[in-house]
Structures are given as C-alpha cells and as structure tokens.
Structure 1
Amino acid sequence: MLALSRKKNEAIVINNNIEITILDIKGDQVKIGISAPKEVPVYRKEIYLQIQEANKAAADAEGLDALKELLK
C-alpha cells in the first residue's frame, strides 16, 4: 500500500484520469472528492462489499437452480 500525506485542497492523480482531492479535515474525519470517468465505478468500501456479497448470493442461487434443472 502506498501511503501519502496531503493537506486540504491538495490532490493525488491515479492513472492519468482519476483525481482525489482533500476537501476538508475536521478532527478524525477527512472529506475527499473524487473525479473519475463515468465508466469507472466508485463505491465506499462497505457498499462495495455488500454488492460483492449480493452478487455471490445471486450466482450461488442461479447455479443451484441450474443444477436442479439438470437433475430433473
């Protein structure tokens, strides 16, 4: 993992097309802004993990249904 120090209004650039800017710092909370192309999905990690779990559950359910059909 790369760890960088940034101050308010400073930014980092990823892959020439994603910019992350520090918007505000209050106590232990940092507000960031992310500029990225529309085709690049950006999620909070907890939401990303929920999406992954939902996708896994859906794939498992679809696979089970297909297996049931094959065994008929």
Structure 2
Amino acid sequence: MLVLTRKLNESIIINDTIELTILAIDGDQIKLGINAPREVDIYRKEIYLQIQKENSEASNLPTNLLELLKNKK
C-alpha cells in the first residue's frame, strides 16, 4: 500500500484521469473530493463489498430457476 500525506486543498493524481483532493479536515474525518471520468465507478468500500456479495449470491442460483418457478404453479 502506498501511503501519502496531503494537507487541506492538496491533491493526488491517479493514472492521469482521477484527482483526489482533500476538501476538509474535521478531527478524525476528512472530506475527499474525487474528480474522475463518468465511466469510472466510485463506491465506498462497504457498499462495494455488499454489491460483490450480492452478485456472488445471485450467480449461485440454480441454472434451472425459471423451470423451477414455472413448475410451482
């Protein structure tokens, strides 16, 4: 992991297209601004992990799920 120190209003550039800027510092919290192309998905980690979990669970559904649902009538 790369660890960088930044002060208020300083930025980090990633891959020429993403800029992270420290907008505010309040105690142990920071406000982070992200400037990135629209096609770049940006999530808080806890949301990203939940999406990954739900996608994994959905991919484990039976392959014949539609047939099973039709036969329930």
Q: TM-score range by the shorter chain?
A: 0.7 to 0.9
Which amino acid in structure 1 is aligned with residue 13 of structure 2? V
Match of 2:60, SS state, is helix
Rounded to whole Å, the distance in 1 between the matches of 2:36 and 2:9 is 17
Count of aligned residue pairs for this structure pair? 66
Contiguous gaps of at least 5 residues in structure 1: none
1:30-45 to 2 correspondences below 5 Å: 30-45=30-45
Runs of 4+ in 1 over 6 A off after TM superposition: none
Q: Which of the pair is proportionally richer in helix?
A: 1
State the TM-score, normalizing by the size of structure 2: 0.85
Larger Rg: 2
State the TM-score, normalizing by the size of structure 1: 0.86
Backbone CA RMSD of aligned residues: 1.4
Match of 1:65, SS state, is coil
Percent identity between matched residues is: 61
1:1-72 to 2 correspondences below 5 Å: 1-61=1-61, 64-66=62-64
Which amino acid in structure 2 is aligned with residue 65 of structure 1? T
